[in-house]
Amino acid sequence: MKESTRHPLDQLRDIHRLMERTSRFIGLSGLSGVGAGCFALAGAVLAQWYLLAGGLASYGHSLYHWPATVHPWGWSPEVFFTLDACFILAGALSSGIYFTTRRAQRKGQAIWDALTQRLLLNLAIPLLAGGIFCLALFYHGIPGLVAPTTLIFYGLALINGSKYTLNELYYLGLCELVLGSVGLFFIGSGLLLWTLGFGVLHIGYGVFMYRKYERNPSSP
Amino acid sequence: MKEIISHLRKAFDHRVRLGVMSILMVNDWVDFTTLRDNLEVSDGNLASHLKALEKEGYTELQKQFIDRRPNTSYRATAKGRAAFLDHLNYLEKIINMQKEQTD
C-alpha cells in the first residue's frame, strides 16, 4: 500500500482520475445530443413550413411586425412558435433523460447525485435568464431577435456548465455563441442559423462524443 | 529541507490518504460515504486515514444531521492544499529526474 513503492506516474494518474470523477458529471450520453438535434431539425422544418404557408418567409426582415393577415392554419405566430418550442424542448429533454439514464444504468452509475444537480443548476441559470429575455422580446414586439437570442443564451449556459462536465461542452457553447452573434445582424437568416446551431451542431457533437467515449466500453 | 520532504511523503505515502486529498482538492465539503465509494475502501480503513490527515491539520470536518442521521463532511484546509501541491511538485521532480537518467 505504500505509495513510495509505486511509480509517481501511476500516482499522478490516480490523482487525476479521482479529481475528474468526483468533480465532473461524465454520464451525459452523446446519443442524447443526436436526439435533441433531430427534434430541433423537425421543429425547424415545422417552423419553415408555417412561415412559407403564411407568406411570412421574409418575416425576419421586419423586426417589429408580424403581417396583420390571419395565417391559413388559423394559429397566430405567437401560439404556433410557443407550441413548436414546447415540442422541441419536450423532445430534447426526454431524449436526453432517456439516453443518459440508459447509459448510467448499463454502467451501474448513480444518475441523480450532487454532480448532476450542480451541472443542471449551472445550465439552468443562463437558460432561465435567456427565456425571460425572449419573452421580453415577444412582449416588446421584436420577434426577429428571438432565434439568435436563444442561441446566445444557450451557448452561455453550455460554457457555464462545462466546468462541471466534459470539457468538449465548452467548445459547443462557443460555436452556439458565434452563430447567435452572427444571427443578431442577419435577422433573415435567423431560422437557418438556429437550425445549424440546435440541429446540425447537436448531432455532430453527439456523434463525436459517442464515438470518443461510448463506443469503446473501457473509456469513462 | 530533507526532513520536510520525508515528512510530506509520510503524510501522503498511502493510496487512501492521497486519494482523499485528491478528491478534497477539487470539491468543497465531501461526505464520508462519497469518499468511501470513490476510494473503494472499508469504513474503518477510511476513518483511520481521515483521522491521520486531520491530525496533520490537512483536513477539517463538520458534523450535521441529514434526515435525522449523522453525516460527517470533510474539507481540505489551506495547509492541506499547500502540502498537497508540494507533494505534486515532488512527484513531478522525481519523474523529471527519472527522465533525465534515461535520456
For residue B72, the domain's CATH number is 1.10.10.10
Let me know if residue A220 belongs to a domain: no
The answer to whether the CB atoms of A21 and B38 lie below 8 A apart is yes
Number of Cβ atoms within 10 Å of the Cβ of A58: 11
In a domain, A138, yes or no: yes
Is there a domain that residue A87 lies in?
yes
User: Would you call A196 helix, strand, or coil by DSSP?
Assistant: helix
Band of pLDDT at residue A216, cut at 50, 70 and 90: low
pTM score: 0.74
Provide the domain count of chain A.
1
Q: Write the DSSP string, A83-111.
A: HHHHHHHHHHHHHHHHHHHHHHHHHT--S
* Number of domain units in chain B: 1
Q: Is 90 exceeded by the pLDDT of residue B21?
A: yes
Mutation site for B-interface testing, chosen from A5, A18, A19, A109 by largest number of B Cβ within 10 Å: A18
- Put simply, the answer to whether A2 touches B13 (Cβ < 8 Å) is yes
Write the burial class of residue A181 (CB in 10 Å: 0-12 exposed, 13-18 middle, 19+ buried): middle
Q: pLDDT of A57-110, one tens digit each?
A: 555 555 455 666 677 787 887 788 889 989 999 999 999 889 888 888 887 667
Whether the predicted pLDDT of B10 surpasses 60: yes
Domain hosting B37: range is 2-102
Structural domain range at position A56:
26-214
Please list every residue in chain B whose beta carbon sits closer than 8 Å to the beta carbon of residue A14: 15, 18-19, 22
Q: Which of B84, B18, B51 is nearest to A1 (CA)?
A: B18
Answer whether residue A5 is part of any domain.
no
**How high is the ipTM of this complex?**
0.82
Give the CA distances from residue A144 to residues A181, A187, A196, B47, in Å, rounded to whole numbers and listed in that order: 13, 6, 17, 60
- Closest Cβ–Cβ partner in B14, B23, B88 for A1: B14
3 state SS of B76: strand
